[in-house]
Amino acid sequence: MTRHTLLGCCLAVLMAPALCLAANDLLLGENDLAAKIEKDKNYQLLDARSAEAQRIAPIAFSTRYQTTMPIKKGLVLIVADTDAAALEMAQSIHAGSDCTVFAVKGGAEAWQRVSLNASPPSAMSDSFVIPMNTCEQGKPLQELKRNKPWLEPKNK
């Protein structure tokens, strides 16, 4: 029994640095963050800061983070009050989804510095489809014609 416990503790000690390195891969510094958002303009920015911080200094193009919210596929960036909180949220989302999730190192201040130098995110889609029969020119399908003036209904 003690041999198995000792073996388990040794494995945990040996794996701890690897887990820390994997966690640090999810935490993006300003240079890495700038490279990511320049490469992929279609990202989802989640604001996981406190309600007070969100009210005082809102982040443009961000979505307020909630645990039950849908996460889009693709690149997801998380800004929180602390790096540890952002990293914890990134790990929890990363484990249960098929998207690439990163925490922003330095929080809202780092995001503001990076976003000032970056080109703005594309709010519009790259493509647009006009629905069929909505923009055709020519004779309309139906016209309103009034031969008589409008008569009010009579009350009995």
- The model's pLDDT over 101-127, given as tens digits with 9 standing for 90+, comes to 999 999 999 999 998 887 655 544 455
Alpha-carbon distance of 149 to 132, in angstroms, equals: 35
* 109 occurs within a structural domain: yes
Report the length, in residues, of the chain: 156
* 60 occurs within a structural domain: yes
Provide the pLDDT for residue 60.
87
Alpha-carbon distance of 14 to 54, in angstroms, equals: 40
Confidence (pTM): 0.61
* 99 occurs within a structural domain: yes
Across 78-82, 95-99, 129-133, 135-139, least confident range = 129-133
* 57 occurs within a structural domain: yes
pLDDT at 93 over 50: yes
Domain count for the chain, please give it. 1
* 84 occurs within a structural domain: yes
* 80 occurs within a structural domain: yes
Q: Over the chain, what is the mean pLDDT?
A: 75
| Ordered DSSP codes for 52-99 | HHHHHSPPTTEEE--TTS---SSEEEEE-SSHHHHHHHHHHHHHTSSS
What CATH number is attached to the domain comprising 32? 3.40.250.10
Q: What is the pLDDT of residues 8-64, one digit of tens each?
A: 544 444 443 333 334 468 899 999 999 988 888 888 899 999 999 999 999 988 889
Instruction: Domain of residue 95: give its range.
Output: 25-117
Provide the pLDDT for residue 1.
52
